[in-house]
Amino acid sequence: MIVPLGHVFLLAGLIFSMGLVCMVAHRNLIMTLVGVEVMMNAAAIVFVAAALRWQLMEGQVFILFILAVAAAEVSVGLALVFSAYRRTGSIDPDTYNILKW
C-alpha cells in the first residue's frame, strides 16, 4: 500500500532525463560522468520498484550488478579523464584536437 507503480516509474523517468540533460549539455568530462551516474541511479529505482511489484528478488539482485558496473565504470572513466587531462591540460572535450592537422 505504498504508491502506484506508475509514480515510481515517473520519478525514475524524471531522474533519468535529468541525467541525460546533464550528460549532453555540460562541457566538462566530470559532469558527463556524473550524468551517467544519475542515469544508473534512475535505472536502479525502476528495478527495485519492479521487484516489489512482481514480488521477485531478481530485480534486487540486478541492482547489485548495477552497483558493481557503476563502480567499475566511474573508476575507469575518471582514470581516462585524468589521463586526457595530463595529455592536453583540459577536461573540456571541445579542446581535444590532437588528431587535427
Partner 1 sequence: MTLYAAIFYLLAIVILTATGLAITRRQPVHAVLYLIVAFLGTAAIFFLLGAPLLAAFVVIVYAGAIMILVLFVIMMLQRSPRELGLLSEWGPATLLGVVFLAVVAAMVFKDPGSRIVLQGAVVKPRDFGHFLFDRYWLAVEIVSVLLLVALVAIIQLGKRMGADGDEAESQLNPVRNSNGGLNPGGIILKSMPRCSRWPRGPLARREQRGIISNGVRGGHQ
Interactions with partner 1, residue window 43-72 (CB under 8 A): 44-45, 48-49, 51-53, 55, 57, 60-61, 63-65, 67-72
Terminal Cα-to-Cα distance of the chain (whole angstroms):
63
Is there binding between residue 99 and partner 1 (CB under 8 A)? no
Q: How many residues contact partner 1, by CB under 8 A?
A: 73
Q: Is 81 near partner 1 (CB under 8 A)?
A: yes
Is residue 4 within the footprint of partner 1 (CB under 8 A)?
yes
Question: What does each C-alpha distance from 6 to 9, 37, 68 come to in angstroms?
Answer: 5, 23, 27
Of 81, 68, 76, the C-alpha closest to 31 is 81
